[in-house]
Amino acid sequence: MSEGKPSTGKQRQIAISEFFEKNKHFLGFDSLHRAIITAVKESVDNSLDACEEERILPEIRIEVSRLKGDRIELIAQDNGPGIPRSSIEHVFGKFLLGSRFHAIRQTRGQQGIGITGVVMYSQLTTGAKTRVVSKVEGDSSAVFVDLGIDTKKNRAIKSGEIRDIWIDDVTGEEVSHGLRLQTVMNAKYQRGRQSVHQYLRMTSIVNPHATITLTVRDRDGGIIDAGNWPRTTDKLPRVVTEIKPHPHGIHLGTLQRMLREAEERKMTSFLRHNFSGVSMRAAREILEKAGLDESRQPRRIRAEEAQLILDCFQKVKLLNPPTDCLSPIEDLLIKKSLSKAIDSRFASTVTRDPQVTQGNPFQVEIGLVFGGDLAADSPIEILRFANRVPLMYQQGGCLLTKALESIDWKRYGLEQPGGRGIPKGPAAVLIHLASTNVQFTSEAKEAVAVNEEVLEEIRRALLEVGRGLKSHLKKSSQRKKAQEKFELINVILPEISRKSSQLLNREEPNLAPIITQIMNAVFCEEELGWDKERRLATCDITVLNYTARARAYTILAKWPESDYVAMENNPLGGRKEAHGLWAWRLDTLNPGTSATISFSLSGLSKGQWSDTDIFFRGNGDIIGATKIDEKLLEEMRNREALSAAEEEVRKAESGIGPLAERAEENLRDDPEQESTPVDPGSLDWVPNQEGGE
């Protein structure tokens, strides 16, 4: 072959399945140890997605059996809706057929190559076919079929298909609906941090609605490893809604394709109906800046004009895309799941407000646990997740890890030699990134790629839980010292008083004023409990004044406010300061006296609320409470007001709410104007400017 002139004689187009057959490392099958984890991961992801879409509480069973040599048999079974007979070969035998590939919403799988890769890898390494059993509710029997893959044609090869009653191996009962996959592959099972056991443990933390079991057997059938992670909630993740693409995330080629396929007759209608965040005001401004007439037909837009439109997308203020395409885990469930998986004394969690990067909505959640049986002299455990899926490998090259390493953890009570890197201490940190488009570093989806906006949002969340840890350690230290002082005074002084009174034959004096003068501090103690009869979570906050003068404070408490949690039995009333923050005014707290604030919460289960933060306004310090940061509180209120304003605009554009009613009245007054519920120009989204450390 001469230089610079490619040979065409042997060139041919290959199927995507043939490509992955020769490049299986792209799918995560690059070693025997990782092969079994990847296979389990793809099976579990599919099971969780299928169950959630049908609103079924998942029950997933994983069985691994060692065979001769490096062969392993994997069985994955769920109680999902099953797969219809006509769809089995497409789901398990065709690459790039993911039903969620083009959907803009939070999903575990994105490429549509997962479970087919398991079937292909099994066939490639052992020559074995994969047995699939599927039962759809309402069918009289289940489908049993063996599958292979024709990699040249990218399609499944079926054999041995029968219909029969499916009896569960464990319960001995007939299965009403579900799916079972049984395959043999070259792989090695190992224990440790990078193992099937650890993957399922992590999966159970971010999927608290699922029950997951693991059984691992040796060649003789003996159990060598097992795990059982029962669900901690019956609440399924909220249903995510598919959204339209946002202009900030569109490329020129995509815009040109959308213009060619458009059915709208006018460019204003095209922009409003095909993109999220584009109001009539924004559509007109985009076209005006691009120098295009509103009445132009989308199909007649030339390439250079499409480029002008794309450039103007960045010059016009646009609303954030809707965030109902995301499904966060939520603070309470993160805290409960972490407490179940890790024995600790303290847990701090935060679910940040949704943000947008390059037109893609994303949301960050952080959980931090401290103390308990966690090792104090080792690096903290980092639990990384993307769309509720554990990230097991490439920790050092992951954006989530880089964000954690960028924090000065010494300020928050953890050791960090050099002020950078992974800190040491009895702690574990969970980082969850939920997004409609998680950018991974490779097809194997093992690490998140660098994105400055996402990095900064994760940093803000980490700083927030870091402040919670610092406050906890400070509060614990203050209380310990104060308790020691209080116990010392209450033991020694009464004994001196008693002995002195006996010697002088006098009545013992009242020591309360003296003890108050010596202690000279205000204390705050909170106690969380559970009212079994009324099924209410209870909270009692007691403030004790051990100073020589009267005090006045506003006490604020964090509570897990949500759509299903309501405040009950709140005799002192108070007021709401911000989302999840309630305030009570204590006007007069005389020396040597105390005041108790009590309230209850409905909608929680026992043990679901085990920790809270107490803040205060007023002069001096309160041991056991933190002075409220008024600047941070104002930022919280501003974000809530902005979110409410955006929601009103969305309701208006959907034809509901007071703004829509007002726009409809305007439209009746001026029937010639194009239908647009409201001009939301004054309510356009402004990026959050919250500072860092």
Summarize the confidence of residues 178-182 as an average pLDDT: 94
525 found inside a domain: yes
Q: In this predicted structure, what is the pLDDT of residue 652?
A: 64
26 found inside a domain: yes
298 found inside a domain: yes
Q: In this predicted structure, what is the pLDDT of residue 520?
A: 78
pLDDT of 677 higher than 50: no
Residues 620 and 677 in one domain: no
DSSP state of 55: T
Confidence band for 597, pLDDT divided at 50, 70 and 90: very high
What's the domain count of the chain?
5
Residue reference for tokens 């490509």 = 19
Residues 211 and 294 in one domain: no
Question: Are the C-beta atoms of residues 199 and 41 closer than 8 Å to each other?
Answer: yes
Of the candidates 520, 372, 444, 361, the residue with the CA atom closest to the CA atom of residue 114 = 444
Q: In this predicted structure, what is the pLDDT of residue 384?
A: 93
Residues 556-569: tens digit of each pLDDT: 998 888 777 888 88
Q: What is the Cα–Cα distance from 616 to 56, expressed in whole angstroms?
A: 44
pLDDT of 664 higher than 70: no
pLDDT of 465 higher than 50: yes
Summarize the confidence of residues 375-404 as an average pLDDT: 90
Alpha helices in 505-539 (DSSP H): 512-519
pLDDT of 69 higher than 90: no
CATH at residue 431: 3.30.230.10
DSSP assignment of 129-164 equals PEEEEEE-TT-SSEEEEEEEEETTTTEEEEEEEEEE
Q: In this predicted structure, what is the pLDDT of residue 511?
A: 72
Summarize the confidence of residues 228-236 as an average pLDDT: 88
Confidence band for 24, pLDDT divided at 50, 70 and 90: low
CATH at residue 307: 1.10.8.50
Q: pTM value?
A: 0.71
User: Which domain covers residue 657, as residue numbers?
Assistant: 633-683
594: Cβ–Cβ under 8 A, 6 or more apart, which residues? 542, 543, 544, 545
129 found inside a domain: yes
* Last-in-domain residue among 420, 455, 471: 471
Residues 517 and 578 in one domain: yes
3 state SS of 94:
coil
Q: Provide the residue type at 353 as one letter.
A: D
Residues 116-148: tens digit of each pLDDT: 888 888 888 888 899 999 999 989 999 999 988
427: Cβ–Cβ under 8 A, 6 or more apart, which residues? 368, 369, 370, 374, 380, 381, 414, 469
Residues 639 and 599 in one domain: no
pLDDT of 482 higher than 70: no
9 found inside a domain: no
pLDDT of 417 higher than 70: yes
Residues 51 and 195 in one domain: yes
Range with the largest mean pLDDT of 29-33, 104-108, 529-533, 639-643: 529-533
User: Looking at 62-71, 170-179, 231-240, 423-432, which range is the least confident one?
Assistant: 231-240
Distances (CA, A) of 627 to 57, 264, 353: 42, 57, 24
Q: In this predicted structure, what is the pLDDT of residue 229?
A: 92
**CB atoms near residue 378 (< 10 Å):** 11
Q: What is the Cα–Cα distance from 547 to 196, expressed in whole angstroms?
A: 58
**CB atoms near residue 621 (< 10 Å):** 13
Summarize the confidence of residues 351-375 as an average pLDDT: 85
Residues 376-386: tens digit of each pLDDT: 888 999 999 99
Q: In this predicted structure, what is the pLDDT of residue 633?
A: 80
Confidence band for 103, pLDDT divided at 50, 70 and 90: very low
644: Cβ–Cβ under 8 A, 6 or more apart, which residues? none
> From the centroid of its chain, how far is CA 638?
23
* Token reading at 252: 């020129």
Residues 426 and 384 in one domain: yes
Summarize the confidence of residues 306-313 as an average pLDDT: 91
CATH at residue 116: 3.30.565.10
Residues 224 and 350 in one domain: no
User: Looking at 323-327, 429-433, 510-514, which range is the least confident one?
Assistant: 510-514
Residues 59 and 169 in one domain: yes
Torsion of CA 42, 48, 51, 52, to 10 degrees: -130
Residues 358 and 297 in one domain: no
Residues 331-346: tens digit of each pLDDT: 778 877 787 777 777 8
HEC profile of 534-568:
CCEEEEEEEEEEECCCCEEEEEEEECCCECCEEEE
Confidence band for 44, pLDDT divided at 50, 70 and 90: very high
Mean pLDDT over each residue of the chain, to the nearest integer = 81
693 found inside a domain: no
Summarize the confidence of residues 162-186 as an average pLDDT: 93
476 found inside a domain: no
Residues 214 and 260 in one domain: no
DSSP assignment of 8-40 equals -SS-----HHHHHHH-GGGGT-SSHHHHHHHHH
CATH at residue 553: 2.60.40.2960
Q: In this predicted structure, what is the pLDDT of residue 106?
A: 58
Q: In this predicted structure, what is the pLDDT of residue 1?
A: 41
Residues 178 and 87 in one domain: yes
409: phi then psi, degrees, rounded to nearest 5? -75, -15
pLDDT of 648 higher than 50: yes
* Token reading at 660: 């829509």
Percentage of the chain beyond pLDDT 70 is: 83
pLDDT of 510 higher than 80: no
* Last-in-domain residue among 196, 229, 262: 229
* Last-in-domain residue among 471, 501, 528: 471
Summarize the confidence of residues 471-480 as an average pLDDT: 74
Residues 435 and 370 in one domain: yes
User: Looking at 2-11, 155-164, 298-307, which range is the least confident one?
Assistant: 2-11
Question: Are the C-beta atoms of residues 646 and 633 closer than 8 Å to each other?
Answer: no
pLDDT of 374 higher than 70: yes
Q: In this predicted structure, what is the pLDDT of residue 679?
A: 40
User: Looking at 89-103, 389-403, 461-475, 525-539, which range is the least confident one?
Assistant: 89-103
